[in-house]
Chains A and B, each alone.
Chain A
């Protein structure tokens, strides 16, 4: 068990809808990362937060947004959903504090999103 909790485990929704994925990091970790894993793109970095502030942005669509709350849990919001957004969404946390990655990311078991 990595200590990172993601809810829900599965989500099925229709095109055009909006969903929120939730992540609780490991106790003490200040950094939270979101990744998307699809069959044809592998693991793609979306966005990173550190202690409530956005730190790095990857290939995140404008329809997607995230935030990290004062209790350090994070939410990823996906709106105007399209069929191609169907994927596994992983959250990871890290104890690292430096601007550069220098310690392991610990991943949750993901949310499987299916858009129909």
Chain B
């Protein structure tokens, strides 16, 4: 049959806004979490990671928050720029790295 495209949730923001991308993970045994950015025609690019013994970690313009109680992960991007436009994936790590479905971030100037 005809394959259906993966309908990604989309977050549209204005340049300079802060962006928050959310992710729910499934395995309560996962103890390592990563955010990736994927631009068209490229492989996923590592942004930031966090281990389960932490609930917050900051990088350059990015912050990852982990809530193990509700199995929720979020990526905050400060002062979003047009170059941040991409698909963002969260991934949970245990024996392997399992990816979420992704969120498309669109940044307009």
A→B interface (CB under 8 Å): 2, 4, 33, 35, 38-43, 45, 48, 56, 58, 84, 90, 92, 99-110
Name the 9 nearest CB pairs between A and B, nearest first. Answer: A101-B93, A107-B43, A43-B99, A104-B46, A39-B5, A109-B43, A107-B44, A40-B3, A45-B96
Q: What total of A-B pairs shows CB separation below 8 Å?
A: 71
Q: Is the CB of B95 within 8 A of A100?
A: yes
Per DSSP, chain B at the interface is loop
* Residue in contact with B43 in the complex, picked from A42, A58, A90, A100, CB distance below 8 Å: A90
Contact size range, B: 20 to 34
Per DSSP, chain A at the interface is loop
CA–CA, A23 and B96, complex, Å: 19
In the complex, chain B residues 31-62 whose Cβ is within 8 Å of any chain A Cβ: 31-32, 34, 36, 41-46, 49, 51
Q: Is the CB of B43 within 8 A of A110?
A: yes
Tell me if B88 is interfacial: C-beta within 8 Å of chain A: no
Closest-CB distance, B8 to chain A (whole angstroms) = 9
